[in-house]
Chain A
Amino acid sequence: MSGPSTYNPKSGFEKWIDARLPLPRLMHDTMQTFPTPRNLNIWYTFGGILTFCLMVQIVTGIVLAMHYVANAGLAFDSVEKIMRDVNYGWLMRFVHANGASMFFLAVYIHMFRGLYYGSYKAPREMIWILGVLIYLLMMATAFFGYVLPWGQMSFWGATVITNLFSAIPVVGGHIATWLWGDFAVGDATLNRFFSLHYLLPFIIAGVVGLHIWALHVPGNNNPLGIDVNSPQDTVPFHPYYTVKDAFYLCLFVILFAGFVFYAPDFFGNPDNYQPANPLVTPPDIVPEWYLLPFYAMLRSVPDKLMGVIVMGGAIVTLFLIPWLDTSPVRSCRFRPLMKQFFWGLVVVCVVLGYCGAQSVDAVKFGIPMVWVARIASLYYYGFFWVIMPLVGWFETPKPLPASIAQSVLGDSAAAAAE
């Protein structure tokens, strides 16, 4: 996609195509010869894994849509029909439902990877911004999808999330009504959510295309966070990284299959096996695990509008990271202070997730969980808005290696390769 193309069409047919639609050239340059830093580790395989996850969700989703009925009176039963009557329907649904969790597991690893190795810094800001956009689209898609089985948690999750918009001053109530198409979540809501749930994955696929395009302009960052200087620093994408990605994808699929076949309801909520009842709210409304940290932030603020702002701000903040980090050094390998704060953030996100799963007045180990969530939310914001800018100014980074080749191969081997 960038740099001089090395594609050399051989047959007459290839030349004919290349002169009219150079798609083989594009594939050759991006997936075969693309120069990739030679030191990428396991954490760099999740981009490929995520592409796989998106494809699995789209394929199983199209199949499920052939049997699902988006009607408040029929939706729950149609899902049960998929589980009991449709040939392999249970497999399609469990792959789709667990696939969402696997997708988020992979995306969180992918995001923390980017954060640790400073992959959001110049010249890769656009890759990061597009990535956060994909993450946002994923959350919307997952939310719409969770509503479709029309169980108790589907219905009340939809109620709570759409009511978030009613916190907006003046027009909030109108926006909520507009989203519902009624006075409350109901049949009209379910139908439009199904429409959007079918649409958004294809939007995601489009933004993924942009994400990869933006990636192929500067090329991959790497665990050292230093630029590629010479051809010795890189290896061709194929076969080196196609094989590496495929190997770790296999391990990932084993984990995926483990959930699908041995614990298919591990991530599910038993309340969602009850049909939606607009008159009874389940005692504890819990979102899917991947949204829990944000849910904990929402609940930690005892004011409706402020709670929504704190939760939304946590995601908006992610877009601004490229400009909040002031350090010229990318990788945390050479940032002794930032490395510790980074792991602090990982712990805080897990703690927030734990708090989000507890009931609102829970007390664990003698500590009210709402206060734990408050302190954790403070660290989350503090990390991005205070620690990131300040540490960049005050930290003394460790010396950077001269080149990727020297770091990987040692001085003499790098010299011999010259």
Chain B
Amino acid sequence: MGAVGVAMVAWPLIDQMNPSAAALALASTEIDIAAIQPGQQIVFKWRGQPLFVRRRTPAEIASANAVDVSTLPDPLARNAGKSASAPATDADRVVKPEWLVLVGVCTHLGCTPTVSTPAMPEGDFGGWLCHCHGSMYDTSGRIRKGPAPQNLAVPPYAFLSDTRIKVG
């Protein structure tokens, strides 16, 4: 009885630290992607976190498709728009293959990975390199090497038109 009382008093003191309803309210953002050129990434802000929108070149899409999913460290798509057990094929990571939309938070310890371009390569897989602890992602945002345990997360998003997406 006493323990229950203590727990009931303790809970508000613990729960006050959790995000409030205001912070939890799913913030959604509409983004104009018309200006993004092939091979370019632009970083937006969503829920206080970086959001990567990358317009992939045909070569980048091809290299993402060339990977055998069974060899990946994380075989799951990590796509909020797909089922939790969806495999990490490139098709399950995107809505339209040309556009890769990712939460720009390294799944290791939360740094923002640096994008790789042919002119300025970062990491060994053409995607991203996280400079904090050396995690390398491929052109589908999947973890390939380093300490990060999961693929970069795909947020819930939908195309409102060819040049506009709504995230969240």
Contacts and interface: CB of A to CB of B under 8 A. Distances in A.
Interface residues of A, number: 37
Contact of B48 (A183, A284, A303): A183
Given A359-B131, A360-B134, A178 B18 contact: yes
A299 B133 contact: yes
A278 B147 contact: no
Interface in A341-380: 359-361
A281 B135 CA distance: 14
B49 interface: yes
B160 interface: no
Given A160-B132, A361-B134, A302 B19 contact: no
A159 B50 CA distance: 13
B17 interface: yes
A177 B19 contact: yes
B64 interface: no
A2 to B, nearest CB: 35
A180 B17 CA distance: 8
Given A283-B114, A304-B148, 7 more contacts: A162-B110, A180-B19, A188-B23, A303-B149, A304-B109, A359-B131, A360-B133
A307 B17 CA distance: 27
B140 interface: no
A183 B49 contact: yes
B121 interface: no
A182 B23 contact: yes
Interface in A36-65: none
Nearest to A298: B133
A285 B134 contact: no
B47 to A, nearest CB: 5
Given A281-B131, A283-B131, A304-B147, A183 B47 contact: yes
A178 B17 CA distance: 6
B132 A285 contact: yes
B131 to A, nearest CB: 5
A162, A181, A183, A299 interface centre (most CB from chain B within 10 Å): A183
Interface in A156-189: 156, 159-160, 162-164, 166, 177-186, 188
The size bracket of the interface on B is 20 to 34
B147 A156 contact: no
Contacts of A299: 133-134, 147
Interface string B45-60: 1011110000000000
Given A183-B23, A360-B131, A360-B134, A278 B18 contact: no
B112 A281 contact: yes
A278 B49 contact: yes
Contacts of A285: 111, 131-132
Given A280-B112, A361-B134, A303 B147 contact: yes
Contact of A163 (B20, B45, B47, B109): B109
A301 interface: yes
A110 interface: no
A360 B148 CA distance: 14
Interface in B93-119: 104-105, 107-114
11 contacts: A159-B109, A160-B111, A163-B109, A166-B109, A177-B19, A184-B110, A186-B48, A188-B19, A188-B23, A283-B114, A304-B148
A182 B108 CA distance: 18
Contacts of A159: 109-111
B91 interface: no
B43 interface: yes
A28 interface: no
A304 B134 CA distance: 12
B132 A281 contact: yes
A163 B111 CA distance: 9
